[in-house]
Amino acid sequence: MAVNLKNQIVEHLKRKGNYEDVDDMIIDILLTNIGYAEQLNVMLKNDGLQVNISNGNGIFTIKENPAFGTYQKCLDQIHTCSVKLGISRKDRITLKIIEKKPADEFDNDF
């Protein structure tokens, strides 16, 4: 999947006239963070946004799942790399780097 997506991104950038060989490093960082984000998303779906954490004395407290913060950092990196490469939001949806937001009732009104 990553090789195919990398090829799609390179071809997309070439069509836009934005591709240079040095962009490969940014593309690799982008793809790595997409992979991490996918793994973290699965963890969040399985474990939820809050987890019970033991303090060592057998007492558990509910805390934000640490995977959520890491997931947010990955999304920030994906956005930063996309901007550096000149990939717009519409381009990211087309390349399936990000998912298109589902329409809600507000969208149906307009």
Tell me the three-class secondary structure of 55-78, residue by residue.
CCCCCEEEEECHHHHHHHHHHHHH
pLDDT at position 96: 76
CA distance 13 to 15: 5
Six-digit token string for 2: 């990553």
Contact between 12 and 91 under an 8 Å Cβ cutoff? The reply is yes
The predicted-structure confidence for 38-82, as pLDDT tens digits, reads as follows: 999 999 999 999 999 888 888 999 999 999 999 999 999 999 999
Six-digit token string for 18: 């934005």
